[in-house]
Structures are given as structure tokens and as C-alpha cells.
Amino acid sequence: MREIMFKELTAGNLRKKDTVLREVFEKDGVVAKTERRCFYFIKDVMQAPDVEGLQKWLNEQNKEGTQEKRHFHIMKEHNDSAGEDKVICKITGTFYAVFNNTVYSIGFLHAFKVCFMRATLAQ
């Protein structure tokens, strides 16, 4: 058995993008459920008047201590009574995109979840 679902979640707000891929498959009596999620949103928009203003802003962002760091989290869970193991990995952070002297500050969340369980308990 194998089941795949892809969603691109959209709303009236064009400043957000959310994509989800879920997969469920069974092999040798073990059911595996995975989910990959990518969520992006525009946090801030800065319009530079000219190239020099853009370069000044970039130099300020490169100074030590002003850059936002990425955060990486891992959670593992084992449940003997339910017969399942879970692992969740998440990365959050910010990056910048420049288009026509406009700087977009974009926040993101990337998540990967996987759950393994015995097929007899998954019903």
C-alpha cells in the first residue's frame, strides 16, 4: 500500500506560501507516515532609493550580531505500548531576496515528520 498527498495551501494573502507532502506506505508489517512541509512568509519589505542605499543596508546586515540565526530542532519519541516511533525535525529562520532595489525579508519553516508503527496497530 502506498498513498501520496500533495497540498499547496493558498489563501487571500499572497505574502504566505505553504506546501505539504504526505506519504503513507506499508512494507513488511510496518507502516511509515512521513510529512514534509515548507512554509514561507514575507516578514518585511524595504525599498532602497538607489544602489548605494541598498549597499548600505546590506553592509549593516553583515555586521556581527545583526543577522538572524537559523534554529534547528529534533524531537524523538518512542512508545512501546503503541508500538510506534516518531521523529520530528524543524528548521526556522530568515533569508533575504532583492528585486529591483526592494529587499524582502522572508521567514521560513521547514519541517520533516516521520512515524513508524506496526501495521496491526495502525488500523
Mean pLDDT by 10 residues, the chain (123 residues): 83 83 90 94 87 79 67 92 91 89 90 88 52
pLDDT computed for residue 90 by the predictor: 96
pLDDT computed for residue 77 by the predictor: 92
pTM of the model: 0.75
pLDDT computed for residue 46 by the predictor: 86
Measuring CA to CA, how many Å separate 91 from each of 3, 24, 67, 72, 73? 26, 23, 16, 5, 7
CB-based contact 16:8 (threshold 8 Å)? no
The runs of H, that is alpha helices, within the chain are: 51-62, 119-122
**Cα angle vertex 32, ends 28, 35, to 5°?**
160
Which residue, among 77, 81, 70, has the nearest Cα to 115 in the 3D structure?
77
Domain coordinates of the chain in residue numbers?
2-122
HSE-CB of 68 using CA atoms within 13 angstroms: 14
pLDDT computed for residue 8 by the predictor: 87
